Structure 1
Amino acid sequence: MLIVNDIKKSFDKKEVVRGVSFSVNKGESFGLLGPNGAGKSTTISMICGLLTYDSGEVTVDGISVKKNPLDIKKKIGVVPQEIALYPTMSAKENLLFWGKMYGLSGKEAKKRADEVLEYVGLSDRAKDKIETFSGGMKRRINIGASLMHEPELLIMDEPTVGIDPQSRNHILETVKQLNQNGMTVIYTSHYMEEVEFLCDRIGIVDQGKMIALGTKTDLVNRLAGGTMIKLTVDALNETFISSLKSVTNVEKVLVQPESKTVEVFVQNHQQAFGEIIATAMENQIQVLSFEVQEPNLESLFLSLTGRTLRD
């Protein structure tokens, strides 16, 4: 459904997307993860045709985004991070507006608006103005607007930011159902559990590059060190950190100075743990607490980027 081939984009001579490549199959749900400033929003904008890429190529269903942008926009539904609705218009009026923007006739738009309101669970609020809605309800109508023209590819950028748990669960279930009904989905989020719930495959973008790509199982299995031991200590110094790096089975050491925590990635935590504690004692470092985390997407992301997803 989508092929992104070695696309690049620069602003003021600064390259923000540096040769990103990936593909998404028809009917697949694909998660795109990356910290702030990683280049994922720019990548999404180029896929949608909102930004032109400097080099490379993007095709949707075999059609070039750069050469045929209008044809592409008929196939794509976009849910932006910001609410793209008119607050003084009703929910149905907003949907009718976007339906007409997508080229639907008046009769088609009315029929489709009723279907979409039912789908997002807000038929009973069809005549109410958007400004009276909660944040979660606005998000649901925002998604509804992107569905008016029945797109083949749905691109969602952080669709659950700042909403209540009930609305969040409703949105996740809606997206899951859309995908199960055959719609191809690209989903970006700061919440790992959302991506794990929704997505067949995941791509991780950092500093403008795709640094990991695969199924959740594939990605977790490639985690350097496998297990993370998280230590909270009373003090940090270079000698202690250097000594930790030389401990048997330790693959990587990440330091969070502000919280005085050290994340140690190891191949065999049972074998390495005693040596890590002994290293702390030798350096007169007191371990205040520790936690052992089995391989997961959070620890993979931290291992690859040195940051948590919400940084």
Structure 2
Amino acid sequence: MTEHFVDVQNLSLKFQQKAVLRDLNWTINPGENWVLGGISGSGKTSLAKIIAGLQSAPGDVKIYFDRESLLPAETLFVESWYQFKNLEGVANFYYQQRYTSQQAKETLTVHAELVGYGKEKGLHFDQVEPILEALAFATFASSQLIELSSGEHKKLQLVKALWLKPQLLIIDQPYTGLDSASRKNLNILLDQVAEEGTQLILICNDIELPTCITSFAEIRDGQLVKVDALESSATEIHLREIPDFLKESPVYSSEDIVKMVNVNISYGEKQVLKNINWEVKAGEKWLLQGHNGSGKSTLLSLVNGDHPQSYANELYLFGNRRGSGESIWDIKQHIGLISPEFHWYFDPTATVWQSIASGFYDTVGLFQQLPYTKSIQVDELVEYFGLTENKNELLTALPLGKQRLVLLARTIIKNPELLILDEPCQGLDQQQTKHFNQLVDELCSNGMTLIYVGHFESQLPTCIEKRILLEKGEVKVVESLNTEILS
């Protein structure tokens, strides 16, 4: 057996005439498990795809699989997002489809997806059951793929990867969307497959890692640099001055932003939300939390007007009962929204500038000419977020972290009464996360209402003052920051 497992030599990559990787070299020895960290856009995902054979670039990549190992002699790359198709093999879904397709059976169920994967790879189904239990995913067997949240999609990706146990497993953002318990259990599972011979490359900037990790590296100026540990990149940030139009307090149409009275949501015999009572007043800053599958996404879909069952419940938005004559677009005029699912389904043909501008009209792309005053506001946000050199590029051509910044800018372009930020910092590096949360703090100091979803306690705005915790579709806790029970 050779002394190296992976040997990368003189790898170079340009993107739009800009050098991303410059004669990069990387040697991975047998038994080593790496974490590849560093700033967003440095080339981590591209490097991983090249090693996995999913992207070509000048240079030389050799992987010396152990032919005597019982593990599959292959490299599996787990993308940061899960790509799936409907039963006809098409992937052109739209955002609200997740909440309107429960009866249509448009995609495979989780069980059917796993059965097909097991047959393709020659795997025994009894071997996947402990993984499903460990990641609290066994109860999703009958769920359609389109019904899953971002965290649940990540779990499905991880289940398949841990079931296969290839000799080289590369996971891009392994903890994205996972709750605390799932992150801990994932690390245990990663340690187990590493013990059985799978070698890992994890692309992330997370601190809580499997104990099997032996080595750390970052990409700096196109070169791979080995480091003793991932260093925090969240240095002191000096924010540009916030644009004047965002310094003004939102004009509230009602003191009552959200009011839910005994709200219930069911799909057949499956009850997703049970007797939810919740009030959000103008100017309040809420943290919404709960394990994966607890009902957070469904709750937010009621608030932003996307869920069709909102009409069958006693739900008030911005002072009006849902179903009293207002359209979904009337509701969205009050709201700035970002979520992983919204990002998935955003218009792939929109430029950075168009994507931000579309926030004025709550569309997933810009389909009309902007008045001059609104164009100026877009330009101001482009500059504020440091996106000037990217403004005419396609959104999808940017690194994931910058894509998320663009959509974050889109959420605030109209200075909305309510910001709904559903895991807004997925894909951002530590510096970008700190930057955005500081912006949220500044915006909310002017009276904006906030509902923020986040699993990582260390990655939250400081302005948050209240928390609602869901558990299995029910309100478990409502509390203030000092944990004084409010209801």
Global fold match (TM > 0.5): yes
Task: Give yes or no for contact 2:433–2:459 (8 Å, CA) kept in 1.
Answer: no
Pick closer, same or farther for the CA change 1:73–1:97 going to 2, 3 Å: closer
40-49 or 133-142: bigger deviation: 133-142
Deviation at 1:134?
2.1
Equivalent runs, 1:71-82 vs 2, <5 Å: 71-82=330-341
Task: Give yes or no for contact 1:204–1:210 (8 Å, CA) kept in 2.
Answer: yes
Deviation at 1:10?
0.3
Task: Give yes or no for contact 1:104–1:149 (8 Å, CA) kept in 2.
Answer: no
Task: Give yes or no for contact 1:85–1:130 (8 Å, CA) kept in 2.
Answer: no
Task: Give yes or no for contact 1:10–1:54 (8 Å, CA) kept in 2.
Answer: no
Pick closer, same or farther for the CA change 1:218–1:35 going to 2, 3 Å: same
62-71 or 174-183: bigger deviation: 62-71
Q: Report the secondary structure of 1:53's partner residue.
A: helix
Higher helix share: 1
Aligned length: 221
Find 2:478's aligned residue among 197, 202, 213: 213
Q: Report the secondary structure of 2:287's partner residue.
A: strand
Q: Paired residue for 1:125?
A: 390
Q: Paired residue for 1:203?
A: 468
Are 1:4 and 2:269 an aligned pair? no
208-217 or 117-126: bigger deviation: 117-126
Q: Work out the CA distance in 2 between the residues paired with 1:146 and 1:78.
A: 5
Task: Give yes or no for contact 1:100–1:106 (8 Å, CA) kept in 2.
Answer: no
Q: Work out the CA distance in 2 between the residues paired with 1:105 and 1:131.
A: 22
Pick closer, same or farther for the CA change 1:77–1:31 going to 2, 3 Å: same
Which amino acid is 1:14 matched to? K
Pick closer, same or farther for the CA change 1:149–1:190 going to 2, 3 Å: same
| Higher RCO (C-alpha under 8 Å, 6+ residues apart) | 1
199-208 or 126-135: bigger deviation: 126-135
Deviation at 1:48?
0.9
Deviation at 1:11?
0.6
Equivalent runs, 1:217-296 vs 2, <5 Å: 217-218=482-483
Deviation at 1:101?
4.7
Equivalent runs, 1:147-226 vs 2, <5 Å: 147-195=412-460, 197-218=462-483
Pick closer, same or farther for the CA change 1:130–1:65 going to 2, 3 Å: same
Root mean square deviation of aligned Cα: 2.5
Deviation at 1:30?
0.4
Q: Which stretches in structure 1 are left out of the alignment for 5+ residues?
A: 223-311
- Please give the per-residue CA displacement for 1:230-272, whole angstroms capped at 9, x wherever unaligned: xxxxxxxxxxxxxxxxxxxxxxxxxxxxxxxxxxxxxxxxxxx
Q: Work out the CA distance in 1 between the residues paired with 2:331 and 2:352.
A: 26
Which amino acid is 2:445 matched to? Q
Find 2:278's aligned residue among 12, 15, 22: 22
Task: Give yes or no for contact 2:469–2:476 (8 Å, CA) kept in 1.
Answer: yes
Q: Paired residue for 1:90?
A: 351
Find 1:61's aligned residue among 306, 309, 318: 318
Deviation at 1:210?
0.7
Task: Give yes or no for contact 1:8–1:53 (8 Å, CA) kept in 2.
Answer: no
Q: Work out the CA distance in 1 between the residues paired with 2:419 and 2:375.
A: 21
Q: Work out the CA distance in 1 between the residues paired with 2:481 and 2:461.
A: 7
189-198 or 94-103: bigger deviation: 94-103
Deviation at 1:153?
0.5
Deviation at 1:21?
1.4
Task: Give yes or no for contact 2:285–2:463 (8 Å, CA) kept in 1.
Answer: yes
Deviation at 1:105?
6.3
Which amino acid is 1:48 matched to? N
Task: Give yes or no for contact 1:196–1:216 (8 Å, CA) kept in 2.
Answer: no
